[in-house]
Amino acid sequence: MQKKILYLSPLIFCFFLLHSCSTSTTRSCSTGLKVYKEYDRSRKFDTSSNTAAFYFRPVKIDLYYPSIEKPARQPLLYGDIMNMYEQRMNYNVSPDSCKKTSRMLAKMFAEYLHLDSASRILNYKTNIYADLSLPDQKHPLIIYAAGMNGSSWENTILFDSLTKAGYVVAAISSVGIFPGYMSGPNDLDEQVQDILFVKEKMKQLPFIDTAKIGLLSWSLGGSAITKAAMLSDDFDCLLSFDGTEIHYYGFDKSWDKDYDSIMKIAPFRPAAIHIPYMYLSGEHPAKVDSIYNIMNNVSSTDKYFLKFIKGTHEDFSSLITIVKTVAPQLGNIDNNRHQLVCGLTLSFFDQYLNHKTTTTTADYINRLMSSHQGMLSNAYPQK
């Protein structure tokens, strides 16, 4: 159970506001959220079901997008977004059931972060609005693969920032094989297929620039996006946050076995990854048996590894920013890492997805390495 809690926790992210949202002109925008509840009819889910709605593979997509609508209503609370988490398994889950789950998660996070009340997390007011008018211009698409049994609540604030920079983010809440709880390597292939399914679905939307599609992930989602990049040439770049595609043997023996199984799941051809690739890492145990670093084997000419010294897997989350905002008495609990991650994220996608060259990713990293000595390292993990 301990490992599942680890991979359910979020990752380190950000809270910075950008003022331009259009890829062709500068206009102020609001962030909209629309939920798509799709079924992949090429895959079976519950074969015992008598209804098509449960027989085929459910794929829930939380779509964050820039909108020119100026809403008069209140934005969503963070609890509203967490309430949608339960629906990743069953589109007919009652709102009461969803709220029970979100309260449980918020309580767990509050205890982990030493926050006195989970309601502070749930009542945090986002800058995101449900079902705003859809974009009237084409935008680059970023497909986000959540961590094991995760959902878009992991990085909601980051998605808000990306939409204000002109991107559409399709966050996938994968559920693994039936009955819908990811627990092992066999579930990963379903997450990979979800990514490819979402790519095709999103390409049908009139406001998606189909020539600009990137991948973003956290934790187990890293293994999923790298496999997706091995299968399709439609992706322009991929960015992984402390993803499981780099593995440290000896820290968790049961996960070592799972990882070996993941590597055997087709495809596993790192050389097939030829697009720009960035990996942002927390600090992992120094004493391990061995390390598998996929980046040593990919064929990408533009690849970046950056480690946040003393950064943990759980640090990489918009949740950290929310807690930091609602409980200032806790101090600078993330050591400002979220600002650095946000800057790196935007620099990477601006260069390799939106083809902006004002500041290259390499230059941005060099500046950070100079200004934050002792906090960052670009040395590849080797053993």
Contact 299, 325 (CB under 8 A): no
Q: Rounded to whole angstroms, what are the CA distances from 249 to 244, 253, 254, 260, 280?
A: 11, 7, 10, 10, 19
Burial 289-313 (b: 16+ CB within 10 A, else e): eebbbbbeebebebbbbbbbeebbb
Q: Give pLDDT tens digits for 239-275.
A: 999 999 999 999 889 999 999 999 888 899 999 999 9
Classify 2-377 by CATH class: alpha beta
Pairing between strand 30-44 and 128-130?
parallel
Q: Give pLDDT tens digits for 145-188.
A: 999 888 899 999 999 999 999 999 999 988 888 888 888 888 99
pLDDT at 1: 29
Say how far residue 222 (Cα) sits from the centre of its chain: 9
Per-domain residue ranges for the chain?
2-377
Q: Give pLDDT tens digits for 82-108.
A: 998 888 877 777 878 888 888 888 898
Strands (E), the chain: 30-44, 56-67, 128-130, 139-145, 168-172, 208-218, 237-241, 246-249, 277-281, 290-293, 303-308, 376-377
Contact 215, 350 (CB under 8 A): no
